[in-house]
Amino acid sequence: MHPQILAAEGWIKLGNYDEAAKELNSCSTAVTASIEWLKFWIRVCAGTNRWREVEASCETLAKRAPNDPFAIFNKAEALHRQGRSREAYEALNSESTRFKRIPQFYYDSARYLCGMGELDLTWSSLNNAFDLDKGLRLCAQNDPDFEDLGLCFRNVTKAQWKPAPRMIEFDLVWFCAHVFIVAIGAISDLPAIIIIAVASLAIGSVLGANPKARVK
């Protein structure tokens, strides 16, 4: 790596994008023509919220290195930051077959879908991301892209990451128990108190094995 690019990387890690830009701007023409330099320049522009420049630079990078996912991911992010979430999603998913095993692909897709108001698809994409990288749960808890639209993950248990509603389970258990009691009573000569006792034990076993069913 060129010394000035290496210095720029150090400034970026420290969060000082102005100094990083100075290092990159002091590079020779031969260095600035490199793909490596262009990637660091994109990082500097992103760090200073110059998203239109990020978008343009990523388009240049994509032409010079069409197989490099860096350009696609960062262009999508630039579009999203400009309030163009649908375009961001389409840009990222135009190459979806290449990224099926990359957790960040699903996570970023979820952010863009959330920006589009597609909450069911957001959850689906998030769950794909979590399946590939459990650590992304923590990122989601603190990601403003989700909090701004009411998808707050704080104090959510592992079992609640799926979007499917679970509040009906309790009522469903008691409904099934009622049907069970009526059916047994209709075909059996057992006293009602024995039937109710057996049904209560069965319900208790279900609730004990499934804590979610106890929560309304």
- Ranges of the chain whose pLDDT falls below 50: 155, 157-161, 163-175, 206-216
Confirm whether 84 is domain-assigned. Answer: no
- Asked if the structure places residue 200 within a domain, the reply is yes
The predicted-structure confidence for 143-170, as pLDDT tens digits, reads as follows 989 875 565 555 454 444 454 333 334 4
Residue 14, token pair as written in the block = 């420290």
Around Cβ 98, how many Cβ atoms within 10 Å? 12
62 close to 71: Cβ distance less than 8 angstroms? yes
* pLDDT tens per residue across span 48-74: 999 999 999 999 999 999 889 999 999
Position 201 in a domain = yes
Of 95, 85, 153, the C-alpha closest to 123 is 153
Distance from C-alpha of 130 to C-alpha of 49, rounded to nearest angstrom: 28
Separation CA 143–CA 51 (nearest Å)? 19
Q: Given this model, what pLDDT does residue 188 score?
A: 57
Looking up tokens 């749960």 gives 137
Alpha-carbon span 39 to 54, nearest angstrom: 10
The reply to whether 175 falls in a domain is yes
> Does some domain include residue 122?
no
Please list, in sequence order, all residues whose beta carbon lies within 8 angstroms of the beta carbon of residue 84, skipping any fewer than 6 positions away: none
Specify the pTM.
0.69
Please report whether residue 108 resides in a domain.
no
Name the token pair of 116.
């589009």
**DSSP assignments along 32-95, one per residue:** HTSHHHHHHHHHHHHHTT-HHHHHHHHHHHHHH-TT-HHHHHHHHHHHHHTT-HHHHHHHHHTT
H or E element: which one contains 194?
helix 192-209
Tokens representing residue 160 in the block: 């609640």
Count the domains in the chain.
2
Kindly state whether residue 114 falls inside one of the protein's structural domains: no
Establish if 69 belongs to a structural domain: no
Give the structural domain span for 182.
Answer: 169-214
Place of tokens 């190459």: 95
How confident is the model at residue 194, as a pLDDT?
Answer: 56
